[in-house]
Amino acid sequence: MPDERILQDPPVEENQALVIPAEEDQILETPAPEEQTAEDQLAEKEAAVEEAAAEQTDEEQTNGRLHLPARSEGNGQSEILPKKKNGERVYAGFFVRLTAFILDKIIVGLVLIVLRLAFMVFLSGSVSDILARKVFFSVSLSDAIIYLLTAAYFVLLTYYTGGTVGKKMMKIRVVSAEDRQPTFFEIAFREIIGRYLSAFILYIGYLIIGAGSQKEALHDHLADTRVVYDAGN
């Protein structure tokens, strides 16, 4: 019996010796996952902070752009975007444009009456004779001055503000067909030559406003302009 115990003891010691290194390996390998997890967490936090900062910067830039007032380039006009419905312009029809034109004629007529009375009262006889002198067929100098003042009313107000007083009262304005501010030449051509051609034959150039989908008159076709409702209407 004693011999059997002596023979069995060494294998037990060898097995225990083999187990000990395994436990040491586990103890040494345990911190490695913890160190890797901490690094990953730190990297995720840094990425989250950078992403939040980028989103905040984009939001501030967007808000800054939204609060900037819209301005036109080149001609000094205050840019007011035309009113849109479902992403499309709302074009002014025949009757609203006719009403605006009548209002303008009334305003211009009253101003011209005041000017004529002022000429008659304050100017001497010799000056009155000069103004009454014919300069082109039956057109007198006073008629030419009145025509130029009337043309200046329509051209300058339309160019600098987008419309005359009558158009402002009806909440409509003149814009380019290409969704930009019209040039001075386009406005001058529209208001002087274009309107003359529209009225040349029984005002047909005005009557065709209701025929097209964009409700343009003949002078709108010629000057490549449209009449739309203001955004504030």
**Beta bridge partners of residue 174, listed in sequence order:** 227
Give a yes or no: residue 196 inside a domain. Answer: yes
- The answer to whether residue 61 scores a pLDDT higher than 80 is no
- The answer to whether residue 52 scores a pLDDT higher than 90 is no
Amino acid identity of 147? Answer: Y
CA 61 vs CA 52, 67, 108, 128, 149: distances in Å: 14, 10, 47, 64, 47
Final residue of a structural domain among 67, 96, 119: 67
Amino acid identity of 132? Answer: A
- Kindly report the average pLDDT of the chain as a whole number: 75
Cβ neighbors of 54 (< 8 A, separation 6 or more) are: none
Same domain, 92 and 205: yes
The least confident of 76-85, 104-113, 194-203 is 76-85
Tell me the per-residue pLDDT of 180-196, one tens digit each, with 9 for 90 and over: 889 999 999 999 999 99
What pTM did the predictor assign? 0.60
Give a yes or no: residue 73 inside a domain. Answer: no
pLDDT for residue 83: 56
Which structural domain range is residue 171 located in? 84-229
Final residue of a structural domain among 67, 101, 119: 67
pLDDT for residue 130: 64
pLDDT for residue 12: 46
Same domain, 164 and 88: yes
Give a yes or no: residue 40 inside a domain. Answer: yes
| Total number of domains in the chain | 2
Same domain, 54 and 90: no
Same domain, 34 and 132: no
Same domain, 105 and 60: no
State residue 89 phi and psi, 5-degree precision: -65, 150
Same domain, 151 and 208: yes
Same domain, 212 and 127: yes
Give a yes or no: residue 78 inside a domain. Answer: no
Give a yes or no: residue 75 inside a domain. Answer: no
